Chain A
Amino acid sequence: MLALSTLFFAVPAQPETGDPAFALGLNWPGLSARYFFTRQWACELSLQAETGVFLFGPRLLFYVYDYSTLRFYGGLEADSVFFQEEHSRGSGWAGELFAGVEWFPWQRVSVQADIGPAWIKLTDADTGLFIEDAQEWVARLGVNLYFFRSPAP
């Protein structure tokens, strides 16, 4: 990762044209691919996994304000969830409304952080028991590497 980052730092920044841009992101604990429709709107497909949990789904981001090298955004996320624990296994969904900021230390590299309330519903496949809760707060930290065009301010 360090070498990869160094490689990108050596690449000259591209001028801002407003054209669509792509990004690959490392967002704990998963990966994401981001595509900008416009300068303000982007969508993202993310995959996250840890032991016994796998989820994937889209995120929709709307960039509301730029300041210096910062871009503030909000959005929503919807994930399809699969899980397996000692006595249970099943699926469900998770959703989140979030707000955050993306900092561009370089034209092609950004660090982002967002936070928001999450809704989660999981259902056990065997018993039909389910759990549904909206009392979780989820923070997301990530690093994005942009290709072709950069959406940096």
Chain B
Amino acid sequence: MNVLRLLFCVSMLFLLSAPPVRAGLHFGMTGAVKQKARALDQQVDAQRHPAPVVHNGTLLVQNGETLEIKDCTYIQKGDIVISGNAVLKLTDCTFIHAADRHFQYHLLLEDTAQLIATRSRLEANEFFLWWRLLDQSRSVFDQAAFQAKGIRLWMLDQAQATLTNSSQVSLYETGDQTATAPGTAFVRHELKRTVANVPTVVSPAWESTIIYLDYPVNTPCPEDAIEISADGSRLYFLFGTGLTSQMTPLEMLSRPNGTYVVQRLAAPDQFGRPAFYDLGQGAASGLSLDGECSFTPDGTKVYFHSNRPENLGYNHTPYVEDAQDIYVADLSNGVPGPGTNLGPTVNSIYLDGEHSLTPDGQYLYFASTRPGGLGGSDIYLSQTVSGVWSAPVSAGNTVNTASNDLQPCFSSDGNTMYLTTVRGGIPGIYSFDRSGSDWVNPQVVIQGVGVGEPSLTADGQYLYFVHVYIDDQDSVFEADVCCLRRK
């Protein structure tokens, strides 16, 4: 009997050492207390580290409105527009302006708008952020910290910023701004250098006003290598985070640099948000800089030029700098597949690109610096026969000059070609008329250094082009997409 009693006691002790908590019932008061302590712990953690408020889309404060964000962590994924005499107050909060890859978000503080940060932390650390403090706007930081590493920040016009009570600003690692001592305004920075190369519309067929596309197509970074779709509904352009001459090869060939596409919304200068148009899928190393789309009439292929390690010159012995070869990629519902080099029949070990297909898709006109030309880059053309491109031939002396001749585009009937060239010492975009197999009667359309990349809608009503800005020190510093309207 004693043995049975002993076994019972041992069994009880064993049970007592088992995990003591079952659903809804605790073995021992400590189990119940532990559960409550954990619940309280979560409450304390939530109070100390509340879940951030995430706002997607544009944060719009305007026309006398005051928006106060306080006692929280606020993550803004999208543009911020504070205009009129509106006020955005940040009080006892952390405000993070976040960016998504491939999207460029702006903060725009304009007119007499105010940004007042009190005991708050303001962070904007993404390269895709552009902050523009304009007009007579005021930014006031009181016991606040402002960290904006890597963003593009401008203070223009009469915009002012004031830092008081140990407020701190951290702006290093920016390409366009420098840090400043606490207690003073930001160093005034003028990105808008004097544009010394303002183009002039010469052709009477076009309105004289040059329409500069606004954000989100144009940004403070260069936009180049454009292609407007035949119906004018889509604009393809090459976006770069800076001038390629100022980038390392790795930077240049990496995202976000590349081609983007935007959908037209209304007027010919109104487009939606850019979407990355991935032409680099076939790049063996994953590194490429791709642009200058040209689509076949049936919409099944896109030709583009690319700077990638597979380019012929890079693989030539001896090495030849070959920043452009022409590639082709199949399209599936408009989405490009892996690109393929057109090969040595079309491409040389020198620059080959800046091209355009004729509207019938039979000829590929492109610029090349290969030997045998008249100077600079010359226009060559190759014909497709049963899907095979022929050896290129020069477009002839009526098209090519001793200067750079490049970036052709065609009217929808194929009888007019637009070209970036220099004639009689006058640089600009010229038009040529077809005469049999030749191009004649060059007429300047837009005159000016740094204009190029013409691209025409099928109805011939809009001529898009790129204006590369050059300052009075003769330095290239920006490129934007523009548009001309036919009279």
Binding site for B on A (CB under 8 A): 1-2, 5-6, 9, 26-30, 48-50, 52-53, 55, 77, 79, 81, 83, 85-88, 90, 92, 94, 96, 105-106, 109, 111, 115, 118, 120, 122, 124, 126-127, 129-131, 133, 136-143
Residues on A with C-beta less than 8 A from B390 are: none
Known A85-B41, A86-B41, A106-B5; contact A2-B26, beta-carbon cutoff 8 A: no
Do the beta carbons of A96 and B44 come within 8 Å of each other?
no
* B31 close to chain A: CB less than 8 A: yes
Do the beta carbons of A122 and B44 come within 8 Å of each other?
no
Other-chain contact of B37, A1, A88, A127, A138 (Cβ < 8 Å): A88
Residues on B with C-beta less than 8 A from A136 are: 26, 32, 35-36
Do the beta carbons of A122 and B40 come within 8 Å of each other?
yes
Residues on A with C-beta less than 8 A from B28 are: 27-30, 48, 50, 138-140
Other-chain contact of A30, B2, B17, B24, B30 (Cβ < 8 Å): B30
Task: Tell me the bound Cα distance from A133 to B45 in angstroms.
Answer: 19
Do the beta carbons of B34 and A52 come within 8 Å of each other?
yes
Do the beta carbons of B38 and A85 come within 8 Å of each other?
yes
Interface of A is mostly: strand
| Among B27, B35, B39, residue most surrounded by chain A Cβ atoms (within 10 Å) | B27
Do the beta carbons of B29 and A105 come within 8 Å of each other?
no
Task: Tell me the bound Cα distance from A29 to B375 in angstroms.
Answer: 92
Residues on A with C-beta less than 8 A from B51 are: none
* B187 close to chain A: CB less than 8 A: no
Known A88-B41, A141-B12, A141-B16; contact A127-B26, beta-carbon cutoff 8 A: no
Q: What residue in chain A is nearest B10 (Cβ atoms)?
A: A2
Residues on A with C-beta less than 8 A from B32 are: 94, 118, 120, 136, 138
Instruction: Write 8 A-B pairs (CB below 8 A) sorted by A numbering.
Output: A28-B17, A53-B33, A53-B34, A55-B33, A111-B9, A115-B25, A118-B26, A139-B28
Task: Tell me the bound Cα distance from A49 to B30 in angstroms.
Answer: 6
> Which 5 A-B residue pairings sit nearest by Cβ, starting from the closest?
A85-B41, A88-B44, A136-B32, A83-B37, A87-B45
Do the beta carbons of B30 and A48 come within 8 Å of each other?
yes
Least distance between A149 CB and chain B CB atoms (Å) = 21
* B43 close to chain A: CB less than 8 A: yes
* B15 close to chain A: CB less than 8 A: yes
Task: Tell me the bound Cα distance from A109 to B32 in angstroms.
Answer: 28
Task: Tell me the bound Cα distance from A87 to B43 in angstroms.
Answer: 9
Task: Tell me the bound Cα distance from A137 to B26 in angstroms.
Answer: 6
Binding site for A on B (CB under 8 A): 2, 5-6, 8-10, 12-13, 15-17, 20, 24-41, 43-45, 47-48
Do the beta carbons of A88 and B29 come within 8 Å of each other?
no
Least distance between B25 CB and chain A CB atoms (Å) = 5
Other-chain contact of A143, B12, B33, B48 (Cβ < 8 Å): B12
Do the beta carbons of B8 and A28 come within 8 Å of each other?
no
Q: What residue in chain A is nearest B9 (Cβ atoms)?
A: A5
Known A55-B33, A105-B5; contact A28-B40, beta-carbon cutoff 8 A: no
Other-chain contact of B34, A50, A88, A126 (Cβ < 8 Å): A50
Q: What residue in chain B is nearest A48 (Cβ atoms)?
A: B30
Q: What residue in chain A is nearest B20 (Cβ atoms)?
A: A28
Do the beta carbons of A143 and B37 come within 8 Å of each other?
no
Task: Tell me the bound Cα distance from A129 to B39 in angstroms.
Answer: 11
Residues on A with C-beta less than 8 A from B5 are: 9, 105-106
| Among A6, A124, A126, residue most surrounded by chain B Cβ atoms (within 10 Å) | A124
Known A48-B28, A140-B27; contact A94-B37, beta-carbon cutoff 8 A: no
Residues on B with C-beta less than 8 A from A27 are: 28
Given contacts A50-B31, A52-B34, 13 further A-B contacts (CB under 8 A): A1-B13, A28-B16, A30-B28, A55-B33, A85-B40, A85-B41, A87-B41, A106-B5, A129-B40, A129-B47, A136-B36, A138-B28, A138-B31
Q: What residue in chain B is nearest A90 (Cβ atoms)?
A: B40
Task: Tell me the bound Cα distance from A140 to B267 in angstroms.
Answer: 78
Do the beta carbons of A28 and B27 come within 8 Å of each other?
yes
Task: Tell me the bound Cα distance from A96 to B25 in angstroms.
Answer: 13
Do the beta carbons of B44 and A126 come within 8 Å of each other?
yes
Other-chain contact of A139, B2, B26, B43 (Cβ < 8 Å): B26
Residues on B with C-beta less than 8 A from A53 are: 30, 33-34, 37
Least distance between A49 CB and chain B CB atoms (Å) = 7
Task: Tell me the bound Cα distance from A137 to B40 in angstroms.
Answer: 18
Residues on B with C-beta less than 8 A from A120 are: 32-33, 36
Do the beta carbons of A124 and B9 come within 8 Å of each other?
no
